[in-house]
C-alpha cells in the first residue's frame, strides 16, 4: 500500500493526513501509533457501516480495541443538537472517559457531528476522521471545524477542535452514487479558484478522467486539495484572516441549502451555484473579468454541476445571509475572485446585493 502523507503543522495540535488505497484496513495500527486511550467509538451511518464497518471494526479489534458502534441517520437535515445528544447518551452508557477517542466514519455530516461531540463531551476528547465522500476527503475532515445546523442557518452551532489524524482511503469513492461524487468535485474546483491557478488548469485538462474516477487523477486531486487546505489552516487555524477564503461560494450556497430545507441540493451542488454567483457578483463590481466567469461555468458544467441560481425569494435569501456566521458588525462579507487563483474578501451593501439577487434569480 502506497501512502501519501500531508502534514498539518500547528503550534499545539499538529496531525497527519494519510491518504492511500485500502488504508482503512490499517486504521487500528495508526491509532496505536498515536498512544490514545483504550475506549473507542465509531460514529457512522447504516449504509457506510454496511460497506466499511466490518473492515474498520476488524482493524480496530486486531489492534486490541473493542469499538462501540454509533449509527446516525443519513442527511444534512439530521445534523442537529438532538442527534449529537444521542452520541453523548452512548458514550455515557459505555462509561467513556477523557482518554477515549471517537472515530468519524462517513461524510461531512458525520465528521462535523462527531467532531462537535468530541469537542464538547467531557470538555474535549480525541477524535479521528475517516472521510468517505469527496467533500469530506478534500475539505470537511481537515482543519477542525465541527458543528451542527440550526433551523435558521447552517453550522451556526459549533467549535474548533482539531482531529488527531485524518485517514483517507480514495477507493471508497467508487461506492458513492454518481450525484454525490460529482457534487464533491465542486469543493476541489474551489481550491483552484481561490488559491492555485495551475491546479484549476489541471482540472480543466483532466475533467473527463476525473469524472470517470481515474484512480491516479483522483488521488492527485485529493492530495493537492488536502495540501492546499493544510497550508491555509496552518496560516490561520481559527479563521481570523486567510482561512476565510475557504468560504468561497458558501455564503450563497448555505442560503440555498437553508431555504430548500437541506433536501433539494447536495452541499457541493449548492456551493457550485454559490461559486458562480460570487464570480458574477465580482464581475458586476468590476473585480473579475467575464472570461474567468466563463471558465468557471464551463468547468462546472464539464462535471454536470448546475450553475443557475434557483427561483428563491431575493428577500429571503438576503435574510438568511444576514444570519450567516461570517457576518461581521452587521456587514455581509463575500469571498470574491479577482482572477482564477486569487480572491479578496469584500463587504457588499444590502441594496447592491438585493438588486444583484433579483437579477440572477430572474435570469
- In tens digits, the chain (363 residues) has pLDDT values of 689 999 999 998 999 999 999 999 999 999 999 989 999 999 999 999 999 999 999 999 999 999 999 999 988 999 999 999 999 999 999 999 999 999 999 999 999 999 999 999 999 999 999 999 999 999 999 999 999 999 888 889 999 999 999 999 999 999 999 999 999 999 999 999 999 999 999 999 999 999 999 999 999 999 999 999 999 999 999 998 999 999 999 999 999 999 999 899 999 999 999 999 999 999 999 999 999 999 999 999 999 999 999 999 999 999 999 988 778 888 899 999 999 999 999 999 999 999 999 999 977
pLDDT of residue 107: 96
- Candidates 164, 254, 266, 280; catalytic one: 254
- Candidates 187, 237, 257, 269; catalytic one: 187
Is residue 295 part of the annotated active site? The answer reads no
- Candidates 224, 247, 257, 266; catalytic one: 247
User: Residues in the chain, how many?
Assistant: 363
- Candidates 237, 239, 257, 269; catalytic one: 239
- In angstroms, the CA 248 to CA 63 distance is 41
- Candidates 2, 95, 123, 311; catalytic one: 123
- Candidates 26, 161, 164, 229; catalytic one: 229
Is residue 206 part of the annotated active site? The answer reads no
For the domain made up of 183-361, give the CATH fold: Dehydroquinate synthase-like, alpha domain (1.20.1090)
Nine-digit cell at 155? 453550522
Is residue 239 part of the annotated active site? The answer reads yes
Is residue 94 part of the annotated active site? The answer reads no
pLDDT of residue 1: 64
pLDDT of residue 49: 96
Single out the residue of 130, 155, 157, 154 nearest to residue 141, CA to CA.
130
- Candidates 250, 266, 269, 280; catalytic one: 250
Is residue 229 part of the annotated active site? The answer reads yes
- Candidates 79, 267, 269, 280; catalytic one: 267
CATH of domain 4-175: 3.40.50.1970
- In angstroms, the CA 188 to CA 227 distance is 12
In the chain, what are the domain boundaries? 4-175, 183-361
Instruction: Classify 144 as helix, strand or coil.
Output: coil
pLDDT of residue 363: 74
Is residue 267 part of the annotated active site? The answer reads yes
Model pTM? 0.94
Instruction: Classify 108 as helix, strand or coil.
Output: helix
Is residue 331 part of the annotated active site? The answer reads no
Rounded to 5°, angle at Cα 184 from 158 and 206: 145
Distances (CA, A) of 166 to 60, 100, 199: 16, 17, 23
- Candidates 39, 71, 79, 243; catalytic one: 243
Is residue 254 part of the annotated active site? The answer reads yes
Amino acid at each position: 500500500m502506497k501512502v501519501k502523507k500531508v502534514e498539518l503543522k500547528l503550534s499545539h495540535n499538529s496531525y497527519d493526513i494519510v491518504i492511500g488505497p485500502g488504508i482503512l484496513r490499517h486504521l487500528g495500527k495508526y491509532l496505536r501509533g498515536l498512544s490514545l486511550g483504550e475506549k473507542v467509538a465509531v460514529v457512522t451511518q447504516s449504509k457506510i457501516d454496511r460497506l466499511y464497518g466490518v473492515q474498520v471494526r476488524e482493524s480496530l479489534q486486531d489492534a486490541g480495541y473493542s469499538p462501540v458502534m454509533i449509527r446516525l441517520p443519513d442527511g444534512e437535515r439530521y445534523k442537529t443538537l438532538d442527534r449529537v445528544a444521542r452520541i453523548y447518551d452512548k458514550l455515557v452508557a459505555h462509561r467513556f472517559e477523557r482518554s477515549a477517542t471517537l472515530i468519524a466514519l462517513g461524510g461531512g455530516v458525520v465528521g462535523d457531528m462527531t467532531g462537535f461531540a468530541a469537542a464538547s463531551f467531557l470538555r474535549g476528547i480525541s477524535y479521528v476522521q475517516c472521510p468517505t465522500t469527496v467533500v469530506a476527503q478534500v475539505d470537511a475532515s481537515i482543519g477542525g471545524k465541527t458543528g451542527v445546523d440550526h433551523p435558521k442557518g447552517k453550522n451556526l452551532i459549533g467549535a474548533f477542535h482539531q482531529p488527531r489524524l485524518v485517514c483517507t482511503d480514495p477507493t471508497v469513492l467508487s461506492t458513492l452514487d454518481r450525484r454525490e461524487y460529482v457534487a464533491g468535485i465542486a469543493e476541489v474546483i474551489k481550491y483552484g479558484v481561490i488559491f492555485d491557478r495551475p491546479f484549476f488548469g489541471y482540472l480543466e485538462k483532466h475533467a473527463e478522467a476525473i469524472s470517470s474516477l481515474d484512480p491516479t487523477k483522483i488521488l492527485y486531486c485529493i492530495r493537492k486539495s488536502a495540501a492546499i487546505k493544510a497550508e491555509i489552516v496552518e496560516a490561520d487555524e481559527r479563521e481570523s484572516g486567510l482561512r476565510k477564503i475557504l468560504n468561497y461560494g458558501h455564503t450563497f450556497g448555505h442560503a440555498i441549502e437553508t431555504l430548500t430545507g437541506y433536501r433539494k441540493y447536495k452541499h457541493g451542488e449548492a456551493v457550485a451555484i454559490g461559486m458562480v454567483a460570487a464570480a458574477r457578483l465580482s464581475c458586476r463590481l468590476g473585480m473579475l473579468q467575464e472570461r474567468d466567469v466563463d471558465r468557471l461555468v464551463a468547468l462546472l458544467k464539464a462535471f454536470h454541476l448546475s450553475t443557475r441560481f434557483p427561483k428563491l425569494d431575493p428577500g429571503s435569501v438576503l435574510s438568511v445571509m444576514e444570519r450567516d456566521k461570517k457576518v461581521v458588525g452587521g456587514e455581509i462579507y463575500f469571498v470574491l475572485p479577482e482572477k482564477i487563483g486569487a480572491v479578496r474578501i469584500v463587504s457588499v451593501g444590502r441594496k447592491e446585493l438585493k438588486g444583484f439577487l433579483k437579477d440572477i434569480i430572474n435570469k
